[in-house]
Amino acid sequence: MNTKQILSAVALCALSASACAETTIVLGYAGALTGAQAHFGKDSERGIQLALDEINANHPMIAGAPVTFELDAQDDQADPKSATTVAQRFIDRHVSAVIGHQNSGTSIAVARLYAEANIAELTPSATNPKFTQLGYRTTFRMLANDTFLGQAVARYATDALHVHRVGVIDDRTAYGQGIADVFVDNISKTGVAISAREYTTDKAFDFGSSLTLIKGTRPDAIFFGGMDTQAGPMLKQLKKYQISAPLMGGDGVCTEEIQKLAGDALNGNLYCADGGRSLARMPGGPQVRETLQGQIR
């Protein structure tokens, strides 16, 4: 329902109480609800639904008319092509706004479609700066972008870990390559040597050849541009190949799930940057965590 439709519904309220009761505002959410990144997508979906439930429980009003918010959650499989199909569904349904998409690649792929349909796209997790640099007035981001995150990891690597040589691997996605490029650009300015630059895909889980090559360059740390679903197995393979260099990354690897994915290979050897406070330190954060965990049970 767009702004004109909402105002029309408000006008009907003056004539019919039943019309007021039928005013529903639909918000779209798009993320990976299946596949390797589903834990990201489902977490976001649960958080959004929790927020809408709380809002609806307080009987929200718009321009004096009662409204109810409804969530239309769709699986874009973290794939730009699937994201385009989901975006067209939202456009055809005339949703009022879209929360998403989850990934940088998917968000960038559909930004023009939402702009042409005049639908606001608010991403809770896409950090590639190009998303908002496209210049569409309908695109919004609610967290730090890769420029900030990549700079933060590079600064920590030099100031706290005192590295001299760093190996770099990225998954070639808009997110992974983007944050790796920022990291390389910033740390290179400090005189740190990039001992090797390797590439993989977001579907790969065997990094043996890249890690073997990087091990030969004797790095002080390894930076990975990608998600936790790959960082977990990568940590296990660091242990397997007896590579003592710690793994570094951005917010894509800063998750609770990484503990499950890496197992005992995670042993104080992971450093990552996340935009914003942890849930435990946010006002009301522990209560939100408890509520969300109750939904999962």
167 and 231 inside one domain: yes
pLDDT at 19: 47
The Cα–Cα gap between 230 and 144 comes to 22
Q: How far apart are CA 246 and CA 223, in angstroms?
A: 9
Domain of residue 14, CATH code = 3.40.50.2300
Q: Are 8 and 116 members of one domain?
A: yes
pLDDT of the residue at 106: 97
Q: Does the structure show a pLDDT above 70 at 2?
A: no
| Kind of pairing between the strands at 270-272 and 221-225 | unpaired
Number of domains in the chain: 2
pTM equals 0.80
Residues 135 and 97 in one domain: yes
Q: How long is the chain?
A: 297
Cα–Cα distances in Å, from 136 out to 120, 128, 291? 10, 15, 36
Q: Among residues of the chain, what percentage have pLDDT more than 70?
A: 89
Q: Pull the structure tokens for residue 282.
A: 């946010």
Which pLDDT belongs to residue 297?
52
- Per the prediction, the chain carries an average pLDDT of 90
Same domain, 230 and 135: no
How sure is the predictor about 16, in pLDDT bands with cuts at 50, 70 and 90?
very low
Q: What is the pLDDT of residues 104-145, one digit of tens each?
A: 999 999 999 999 999 999 999 999 999 999 999 999 998 889
Type of residue numbered 219: P
Residue 225: give the domain boundaries: 146-272
User: Are 34 and 72 within one domain?
Assistant: yes
Residue 122 and residue 18 in one domain: yes
Averaged pLDDT, 18-27: 72
